Amino acid sequence: MSEKIPYLRVGTTYYKTIEKPLISGDKISILTRWNRETIISDHGKIYVSKVPKYDGFCCIPSHLQYQQIIQGFYNVYNEIPYQPIKETPEQTYLQEKIPFSLRFMEHIFGEQLELGLDYIKILLQYPTQILPILCLVSKERSTGKSTFIKWLKSVFGLNMTYIKGDSFSSQFNSDWTSMLIVAIDEVFFDKKEITERLKYLSTTDKDKKEAKGKDREEVEFFGKFILCSNNEDNFIQIDENEIRFWIIKVKSIKTENTE
């Protein structure tokens, strides 16, 4: 039985895949830089020659046919935590297997439930497809907006991130430019240029990635934005005829199921 090597070399830099424990008791695999000398110190020189080597990083989103290695490149897009069943189930089957998720989706999307289900399906099957900016708004408390974000996070795992409004306006964006879903909670954007940037990113397939201390680089962009706000009427400046925003007013949850 061959030994599993947790290290890899991308270009001239070494990395280690480590299992990071979570509060829930689960673990997530993350890639962190590792020193070559440390690997030699821990395992010897011969071991280093066995470390897999790749030409560079790529970011190719796929959930149903995920590949970690693509033509000699290491894919930084992450495999989702759960895989869907292969056959297309009937509605009654889904109601039996995932009743709470369906009820929750119905609560969030209301009369637009079918569109909401299509939204999730497109995220899963066609991650590079352009989608509208989903805006969940309500001045009421206990609506489930933040819970919906957490629910999506459990489905798409490390391919989704949360950022604050001020982080979005920052020039540094390396923490979210490779994400499928970028959720921004407690949104209040009062500047027109923020709206214009969101509109641009919601329809473009390219963006400039910028990290502190590094040159900007052009990357492929496929991110979808979800905005949550307690301000129903003025959370962002949107023109009357704008079609790139999908705004849903979420009602409060009357009864909570804590099972």
In the prediction, which pLDDT does 140 show? 86
Superfamily of domain 99-249: P-loop containing nucleotide triphosphate hydrolases (3.40.50.300)
Rounded Cα distance between 129 and 122, Å, is: 7
pTM: 0.88
| Range of weakest confidence among 80-89, 126-135, 143-152 | 80-89
Structure confidence at residue 1 (pLDDT): 45
- Confidence class of residue 94 from pLDDT cuts 50, 70 and 90? confident
Domain coordinates in residue numbering, the chain: 7-75, 99-249
pLDDT band at 171, cuts 50/70/90? confident
Q: Is the pLDDT of residue 257 over 70?
A: no
Angstrom distance (rounded) from CA 6 to CA 15: 8
- Output the pLDDT for position 48: 95
CA distances from 219 to 42, 48, 87 (A): 36, 31, 35
pLDDT digits (tens, 9 = 90+) for 3-27: 789 999 999 999 999 988 988 787 8
